[in-house]
Amino acid sequence: MRLSNFYLPTLKETPGEAQIASHRFMLRSGMIRQQAAGIYAWLPLGMRVLTKIENIVREEQNRAGAVELLMPTIQPGSLWEESGRFDAYGPEMLRIKDRHGRDMLYGPTNEEMITEIVRASTKSYKQLPKMLYHIQWKFRDELRPRFGVMRGREFLMKDTYSFDASPEDARKSYLKMFAAYLRTFKRMGLETVPVKADPGPIGGDLTHEFVVLAENGESDVFLDKDLLGRTVPDASTDFSGDLEPVFKEWTSLYAGTDEVHDEAAWAEVPEDRKLSLRGIEVGHIFYFGTKYSEPMRARVQTADGKEVDMEMGSYGIGVSRLLGALIEAHHDDDGPKWPVSVAPFHVGLINLKPGDEAADQLCEKLEAAFEKAGVEVLYDDTSDRAGEKFARMDLCGLPHVVTVGPRGIKAGEVEWKNRGSGEKSGLPIEGAAEKIIAEVQNKLATLSA
């Protein structure tokens, strides 16, 4: 992609409302533009990252055996009357009257709708288990939207719903999502820890939040340090097999949000392993049994002819929020440092002297080599000042930056900067593209392993 054809409206000044790094950098690098409080347009640079995150989430859901559908954003109020939530939900639900005066709403979540869909077609335990998911925009009319995409009103969420004929089977579905979530975040280059969450009146121990540890997190978490860096299931994991060992590996040590903090258990964690910090919630999984299937009469016949309410769970990932969490986890003073799997482009290519024949030719050759290898390149072919170009690339946070100029060409070199480590080095022109392509491909392979 040539920068001259792209649309990248970076900002020199930081808008006053941006209090945290991710919000600041997303506005400044032209990833998003606010349209109303908590409502953003995703400009091309932001859209590219959003799409990559969405695709990783999708691939790992498919791997775990979930099937994709897409529910609409607007829902009839009558559906929520079946579960009792139409009145109970509160002012965060965006309520709408259509032209006929019917009660509608912009879905903040989809338990009712998916239950209605599955109920209509599922009569026998033989049709179960089923795991269905969609990736769709949601709306929660937050009183005080803030922190950019971290707490917006219109946001993109992946929500999966599992349907089983027994609590034992429901646990298996839960473990699939538990393992899938570990893989999903790891593929994005994000270290997360599953921590026990509050099951509320439903009780039980099958609810976890996946949190990114970060200074600007909104929730307090307590955890045993030995949980950090544990093994994430690899790509060869059999999701139809026994996932109890994965669950055990990640839940046998103390980890909980402040809502469920257990002082007695916490006291048993050795002092030097106690970590009490802030976390950003990026995923939440919850087995809630028959909470919706019972009032909505979503039932199946079991092998012995009984009718039972389906056992359900729901599993959410904040897709748009993840951009904020990723930047909070990976940035310096100059901008984000995108992990290669979610970077808007893998490589930035700076031409220091557009119009110089040798520089133009070399840039075009490098660009073609990257594109041929499937390595995405943003080629700054503008006539802006060099300083402006370097600062803009840093602000965009592309993992690799290659700079081409007449002086380097004379010396037979291009400059290569690793945005993550900050290291710069001269690379011989011969083989430069191949070297960077290999770096990108190796890193991508490691992340998705």
Which residues of this chain interact with a second copy, rule CB under 8 A? 5-7, 9, 30, 33, 35-36, 39-44, 46-47, 50, 65, 67-76, 79, 91-92, 94, 96, 98-99, 102, 104, 106, 113, 116-117, 120-121, 130, 132, 137, 139, 141, 143, 153-154
From 45, 127, 4, select the one nearest 345 (Cα to Cα): 45
The distance of closest approach from Cβ of residue 228 to a second copy in the complex, given in angstroms and rounded to an integer, is 35
The distance of closest approach from Cβ of residue 175 to a second copy in the complex, given in angstroms and rounded to an integer, is 17
Phi, psi (degrees; rounded to nearest 5) at 136: -145, 155
- For residue 413 the two structure tokens come to 């070199």
262 vs 371 by CB, closer to a second copy: 371
Residue 316: HSE in the Cβ half-sphere, 13 Å Cα cutoff: 19
66 vs 197 by CB, closer to a second copy: 66
The distance of closest approach from Cβ of residue 5 to a second copy in the complex, given in angstroms and rounded to an integer, is 6
Rounded to 10 deg, the angle between the 357-372 and 432-448 helix axes is 30
The distance of closest approach from Cβ of residue 74 to a second copy in the complex, given in angstroms and rounded to an integer, is 5
1 vs 277 by CB, closer to a second copy: 1
The distance of closest approach from Cβ of residue 113 to a second copy in the complex, given in angstroms and rounded to an integer, is 6
Residues 359-368: contacts with CB under 8 Å, at least 24 apart:
359/404, 359/405, 359/406, 359/409, 362/404, 362/409, 362/414, 362/429, 363/404, 365/433, 366/402, 366/404, 366/414, 366/432, 366/433
92 vs 258 by CB, closer to a second copy: 92
Distance CA 10, CA 30 (A): 5
73 vs 219 by CB, closer to a second copy: 73
Distance CA 162, CA 160 (A): 7
The distance of closest approach from Cβ of residue 8 to a second copy in the complex, given in angstroms and rounded to an integer, is 9
Distant-in-sequence, close-in-space partners of 120: CB < 8 Å, separation ≥ 6: none
111 vs 209 by CB, closer to a second copy: 111
105 vs 212 by CB, closer to a second copy: 105
Contact criterion met (CB below 8 Å) for 347 and 367? no
The distance of closest approach from Cβ of residue 138 to a second copy in the complex, given in angstroms and rounded to an integer, is 10
